[in-house]
Amino acid sequence: MRLKVPDRMKDVNTMTGQFVLSFLATTISIALTFGSAHIAEQRKKNKEKREIVMMLMYDMQSTIRMVDECDSCLNGFFEKQVEILENPETFDEGRMYLAQLTPRMDYPTTLENIFTSSIETINTVGNTVFVERVSIFYDIRSKYKHEIFDDFMQNMQGCIENIDSLAAFRETSEYPLISGMFVMDLKMLFEQCKEMMYVSDEELQAFVDERNKLDGAHDASVVDMYHQAFEENEERLERFNEALEKLGKANK
């Protein structure tokens, strides 16, 4: 014999079920909301981290290209110096060649300053070993500029005035050796950082291409603004000259 469930009990069971369903729906909704927000925030942090890493790798790569060129100039200068000393009659022609072998070392330090002075940037990267390696890289770059480039530029002043001054410039034999050691250290740190942060050559090249595209567009925009400013200034100057002409006529 089946017992008949009172209507009041049915109502209670229905209300309980609705409450449980509502509670579950609310809980799931909150979980999804906070979960989605957390995922979005995590993606944003990862994107910021990757952008910082790629900018640093791009800056390091640009530095290596620059020191490679500088190192090549130092080696070329020494080789040509020896060649001229072996054939003094070629000095006049050779000195012009030496003057063109002046190395270049003019890199921007904006990114380096931001990286080394902002704890927020360092925290975003999150990898303390990577941060350490990049800091060492920038320290070596600074030493290279002051101990190799600046020192060479200061010592070479006046060395190509005559054959005697060129012969007295003996330090050139040391620059290529010391420069090469610096270059090897920089390249080693660069490769370590690439491997540590899983940066492939393809990814870095894609970033470089995108930067070059943006820089090219920016340069073109600046040129257009310069042209516009020049034309506006020409118009103002023309009005000014016309005003002077009228004033001159009025004074006559």
Flag whether pLDDT at 224 surpasses 60: no
Domain locations along the chain: 43-198, 200-241
**pLDDT value for 144:** 95
Taking the C-alpha atoms of residue 190 and residue 107, their distance in angstroms, rounded to an integer, is 17
Taking the C-alpha atoms of residue 118 and residue 111, their distance in angstroms, rounded to an integer, is 11
Q: What percent of the chain has pLDDT over 90?
A: 31
By the 8 A CB rule, do 61 and 208 touch?
yes
Tell me the pLDDT tens digit for each residue of 45-94: 778 888 889 999 999 999 999 999 999 999 999 999 999 999 999 998 88
**pLDDT value for 19:** 62
Tell me the pLDDT tens digit for each residue of 131-174: 889 999 999 999 999 999 998 888 887 788 889 988 888 888 88
Identify the residue with better confidence: 222 or 128.
128
Question: What average pLDDT does range 120-135 have in this prediction?
Answer: 83
